[in-house]
Amino acid sequence: MSQETIAQETTSQTTASPESPSSNQGSGNQVSGKKEDVVARLSEFPPGTHRVVKAGRREIGVFNVDGNFYALPNLCTHQLGPLCKGKVSGTIVCSKETEWKLQWGFENEIVTCPWHGMEYHIPTGTCLAFPEIRLRSYEVWVENEEVKVRL
């Protein structure tokens, strides 16, 4: 998968800004049948960090990638390993955009499953090895200095 393709598929990101629009407050609110949970205080969630939280019955990995927040299920599609407990890094890219030369790309945008090494692009949830696979990207936003996720 090319860098351009992944960039075009980015659908869910929220800049870490207290001005992000939302009229809902508090942990556990129900909005149109969807549940929202407070993940952390913004001050405790600096860029380059990620954490796994329990939201309802589901474990969610929440990532701060250079100030943009993303959330994915903590499930690798391969053997259901705890994907979001894996390392966040970049990956080697070789595509038309790199003139078919090996280059390091997607710095801080790739999470690697600790079980068998499947890589996913955090902003889109797309699996690098199999672009046909995509994890859900949950909505994440910052409100009142709190990072929130909506299931």
Partner 1 sequence: MNDAEKKNSIAPERLIVVETDGTFIVASEDDPSDWVASFTQDETFAAQEWAERMADLFNLRTQEKWPDDPAKAPPFTGSHHPQNAQSQSQNQTQT
Catalog residues that contact partner 1 under the rule CB under 8 A: 33, 56-58, 73, 75, 77-82, 85, 114-116, 129-130, 132-136, 151
Which helix (H) or strand (E) covers residue 127, if one does? strand 126-127
Rounded to a whole number of angstroms, the minimum distance from the CB of residue 134 to partner 1 is 5
Rounded to a whole number of angstroms, the minimum distance from the CB of residue 148 to partner 1 is 17
Comparing CB distances to partner 1, the nearer of 51 and 134 is 134
Comparing CB distances to partner 1, the nearer of 135 and 149 is 135
Please check whether residue 87 is in contact with residue 97, taking contact to mean a CB–CB distance below 8 angstroms.
Answer: no
Q: Is 78 exposed, middle or buried (0-12, 13-18, 19+ CB in 10 A)?
A: middle
Comparing CB distances to partner 1, the nearer of 16 and 122 is 122
Residue type, 125: G
